[in-house]
């Protein structure tokens, strides 16, 4: 079967763990060159990138910045753009989670979460899309969540930030379509990552009980959906939100 991602160049955020790490590995296996964005690069990350690059004949360049820092994002993404390489794919994956009742949640914490999960994503899209507009092509994949589509007590900040990103995905898909840029979102349910491990056993059981497949997803299962959306196999998809939740949705 033809590999439709080979020799593409992709920016992936949040590559240090979870879905971002799984996507990085899968993209490398498919011959994609990667700017691997994370807040901090560790020795084990450098070793992994080097090993993947050698095994699959790609390049993987770490790019470090903090999504809480607008200037850091601006400087780092512009450093990618200055390389004068095509940017074929952007995977806006990195996010943070924080949940409690509004009565116990500092407004500053809500603002911090929105800065990372929403405003930073828009900033990256704004910068990268300028390259894609000149190319007259590109694919952007935003990491939504079923939390942005269902109402769950104690999930105001995270759910609202993901709902905003899902709305932006649908709107920007229309704005950028004339430039040949496709923009979609993935909305996972429970995934076996550090973020979901913050749930108590009782909370996890309640979510799994509402899931038809009675289990959480492995990060690789979500990464495969991202791979599909990034490829020409999804060439007629834009403005879509692909739910990957094992049959959890009840909204």
Q: Which residues are known to be catalytic?
A: 158
Q: Angle of helix 120-135 relative to helix 70-81, nearest 10 degrees?
A: 20
Separation of alpha carbons 217 and 242, rounded Å: 14
- Cα distances (Å, whole numbers) of residue 9 to 134, 151, 223: 15, 37, 16
Spatial CA neighbour of 59 closest among 27, 14, 19: 27
């Amino acid at each position: 079967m033809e590999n439709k991602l080979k020799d593409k160049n992709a920016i992936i955020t949040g590559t240090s763990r979870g879905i971002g790490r799984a996507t990085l590995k899968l993209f490398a296996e498919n011959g994609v060159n990667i700017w691997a964005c994370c807040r901090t690069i560790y020795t084990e990350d450098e070793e992994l990138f080097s090993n993947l690059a050698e095994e699959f004949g790609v390049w993987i360049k770490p790019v470090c910045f903090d999504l809480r820092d607008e200037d850091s994002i601006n400087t780092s993404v512009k450093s990618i753009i200055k390389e004068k390489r095509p940017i074929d794919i952007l995977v806006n994956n990195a996010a943070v989670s924080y949940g409690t009742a509004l009565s116990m949640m500092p407004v500053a914490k809500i603002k911090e979460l929105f800065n990372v999960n929403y405003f930073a994503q828009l900033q990256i899209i704004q910068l990268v899309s300028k390259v894609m507009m000149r190319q007259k092509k590109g694919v952007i994949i935003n990491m939504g969540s079923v939390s942005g589509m269902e109402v769950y007590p104690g999930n105001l900040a995270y759910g609202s930030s993901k709902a905003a990103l899902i709305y932006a995905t649908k709107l920007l898909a229309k704005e950028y379509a004339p430039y040949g840029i496709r923009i979609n979102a993935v909305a996972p349910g429970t995934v076996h990552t550090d973020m979901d491990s913050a749930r108590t056993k009782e909370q996890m059981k309640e979510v799994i009980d509402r899931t038809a497949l009675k289990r959480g997803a492995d990060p690789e299962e979500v990464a495969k959906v991202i791979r599909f959306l990034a490829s020409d196999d999804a060439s007629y998809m834009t403005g879509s939100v692909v739910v990957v939740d094992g049959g959890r949705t009840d909204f």
